[in-house]
C-alpha cells in the first residue's frame, strides 16, 4: 500500500523519515479558515479530513494532519505577520496552552492533545523569538524544536505532537490501514 503524505511540512516529513517510513509527498491546498463559531476540535478534525480527501484513491493511503494551539478556547493558527506572532507569544507567556493535532489516515481521524507550559517571557525574549522568523509558518508562532523551546518549562503528552505529528498514534493508524512499516 503506497503512502502519500498530504503536507508540505518539513517537520512531518522528517518525523516519518526518522521512523523509516516510505512515502511520497503531495501537499493539499485547502482554505484553512476557521468557520465562525467552529469549536477547536471540530476545526482541527475538519482540516485533517479535507487535506486527506484529494489523495484518497485505490491502492494508496492518504495521511494528513493539522496542528493547532489553543489557549482560553482561542485557536492560534499560523501568524499572519510578525505583529500577530508577537501577540500570540505574549498570550502564551507564563502559562499553559494545548497543542492539538488531528491525524487523518484515509477516512479515520484521531486527535492527540499535549499540554505545554511557557516560562514568563520578557518583551526582549518575545522579540528575539519573533525576529528569528522560525515561528512564521507554525501554529502558535513557535517551534518547540527551535529557540522557543528554550522557554518551555514543561510538556504533558507527546513531544512529537507539538512538532506537528504524534508519531505513536500515527504509526498505529498507518499499521491498521495496511501500510508497510519497517518492522512489519
**Domain CATH code at residue 10:** 3.90.950.10
Which residues are catalytically annotated? 66
Number of domains in the chain: 1
Short-list 141, 136, 65, 152, CA closest to 104: 65
Domain assignment present for residue 183? The answer is: no
- pTM score, whole prediction: 0.94
Q: Tens-of-pLDDT digits for all 184 residues of the chain? A: 799 999 999 999 999 999 999 999 999 889 999 999 999 999 999 999 999 998 888 789 999 999 999 999 999 989 999 999 999 999 999 999 999 999 999 989 999 999 999 999 999 999 999 999 999 999 999 999 999 999 999 999 999 999 999 999 999 999 999 999 999 8
Q: Are 24 and 3 in contact (CB under 8 A)?
A: yes
Mention every residue, 6+ apart, whose C-beta is less than 8 A from residue 150: none
Question: How many CB atoms lie under 10 A from the CB of residue 120?
Answer: 10
Question: How many CB atoms lie under 10 A from the CB of residue 44?
Answer: 27
- Which domain, by its residues, includes 83? 2-176
Amino acid at each position: 500500500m503506497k503512502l502519500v503524505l498530504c503536507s508540505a511540512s518539513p517537520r512531518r516529513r522528517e518525523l516519518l523519515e526518522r521512523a523509516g517510513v516510505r512515502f511520497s509527498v503531495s501537499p493539499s491546498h485547502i482554505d484553512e479558515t476557521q468557520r465562525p463559531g467552529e469549536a477547536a476540535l471540530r476545526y482541527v478534525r475538519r482540516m485533517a479530513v479535507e487535506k486527506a480527501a484529494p489523495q484518497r484513491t485505490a491502492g494508496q493511503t492518504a495521511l494528513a494532519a493539522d496542528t493547532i494551539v489553543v489557549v482560553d478556547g482561542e485557536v492560534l493558527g499560523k501568524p499572519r505577520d510578525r505583529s500577530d506572532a508577537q501577540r500570540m507569544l505574549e498570550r502564551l507567556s507564563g502559562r499553559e496552552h494545548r497543542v492539538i493535532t488531528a491525524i487523518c489516515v484515509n477516512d479515520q481521524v484521531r486527535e492527540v492533545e499535549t499540554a505545554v507550559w511557557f516560562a514568563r517571557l520578557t518583551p526582549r525574549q518575545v522579540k528575539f523569538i519573533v525576529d528569528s522568523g522560525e515561528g512564521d509558518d507554525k501554529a502558535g508562532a513557535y517551534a518547540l524544536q527551535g529557540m522557543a523551546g528554550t522557554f518551555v518549562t514543561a510538556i504533558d503528552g507527546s513531544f512529537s505532537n507539538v512538532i506537528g505529528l504524534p508519531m505513536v498514534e500515527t504509526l498505529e493508524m498507518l499499521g491498521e490501514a495496511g501500510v508497510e512499516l519497517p518492522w512489519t
